[in-house]
A and B are shown apart, each in its own frame.
Chain A
Amino acid sequence: QVQLQESGPGLVKPSGTLSLTCAVSGGSISSSNWWSWVRQPPGKGLEWIGEIYHSGSTNYNPSLKSRVTISVDKSKNQFSLKLSSVTAADTAVYYCARRFWGIDIWGQGTMVTVSS
C-alpha cells in the first residue's frame, strides 16, 4: 500500500528556508489524489499548510501563502515543501499526507526546529 516518508533538515536558521521532501512509495504520485502538508507545533493542534495535484495545481493556506511553495516531481515520485523567512513560530512536526476521501495516508512526521 502507499507509504509516505518525509525527509529534510531538522534545524533551520531564522530567516532561512525550510525545505522538506515527501517520497511516495507503493503507488504513483500521478494517481487521483491531492498531496498535502500539515504541521503541528509542539503541544498544539494541527494546521493545514497546503496541497498539490500531480498536474501541479496547488492550494495554500492564506496565512502562509506568501511564504509557501509546494511542488511535485513525478519522475522521482515525490513532492516537496518550501517555507521561506522562517521564525521560531514555524517550529513544528511537519507531516506529508495523501488526501482522497479525507486525509487517509500520513507520513510519520518530521520535527523541524527554527533556531540559530
Chain B
Amino acid sequence: AIQMTQSPSSLSASVGDRVTITCRASQGIRNDLGWYQQKPGKAPKLLIYAASSLQSGVPSRFSGSGSGTDFTLTISSLQPEDFATYYCLQDYNYPQTFGQGTKVEIK
C-alpha cells in the first residue's frame, strides 16, 4: 500500500496567517490526491481534488499544488472557521490511503 506522510502532525497559527501542510507519497501518484477538512463530530469535507482543483463552494483561500510524490495544501489567510484537522487521500491505486492528519489549532 502507498504510505501517505503528512507534516506537520499539528500546528498552531493565528487568524490571518498563511498555513502550509504537506503530504508525501511513498511512490508516485500522478496528481491523484485530495485534501479534506474535518471538524470535531463532523464528516470530512472535500476541499481540493486532483491535487490542485478547488471543490465547488470552497473558499479561494484554499489551494493545492504538487504532483508525483510531494503535495501541498495552502491556506492563504487563516480564518476562525478553518481550525480543524486536515487529511490528504490518494486514490491513485488501491487501497486508497489517507495521511495521518494535521490538526490546525489556534495560537
Chain A residues engaging chain B, CB cutoff 8 angstroms: 38, 45-48, 59-63, 95, 97, 99, 101-104, 106-109
Contact = CB atoms under 8 A, between A and B. Distances in A.
A63 B96 CA distance: 12
Contact of A106 (B44, B55, B87, B91): B44
17 contacts: A45-B98, A45-B99, A46-B44, A46-B87, A46-B89, A48-B95, A48-B96, A59-B94, A62-B1, A97-B43, A101-B49, A102-B34, A102-B46, A102-B55, A103-B44, A106-B43, A107-B43
A41 to B, nearest CB: 12
B52 to A, nearest CB: 12
Given A45-B100, A59-B95, 8 more contacts: A45-B98, A48-B97, A60-B94, A99-B91, A101-B49, A102-B50, A103-B34, A106-B45
Contacts of B34: 102-103
Nearest to B35: A102
Nearest to B56: A104
A62 B100 contact: no
A102 B53 CA distance: 10
Nearest to A99: B91
Contact of B50 (A99, A101, A103): A101
Nearest to A100: B49
Contacts of A48: 89, 95-98
B43 to A, nearest CB: 4
Contacts of A38: 44
Interface centre among B48, B94, B99 (most CB of A within 10 A): B94
A104 B49 contact: yes
A26 B100 CA distance: 32
B101 A102 contact: no
Contacts of B48: 102
Nearest to B94: A59
A103 B89 contact: yes
Given A45-B101, A46-B44, A62-B1, A104 B95 contact: no
A61 B55 contact: no
B101 A104 contact: no
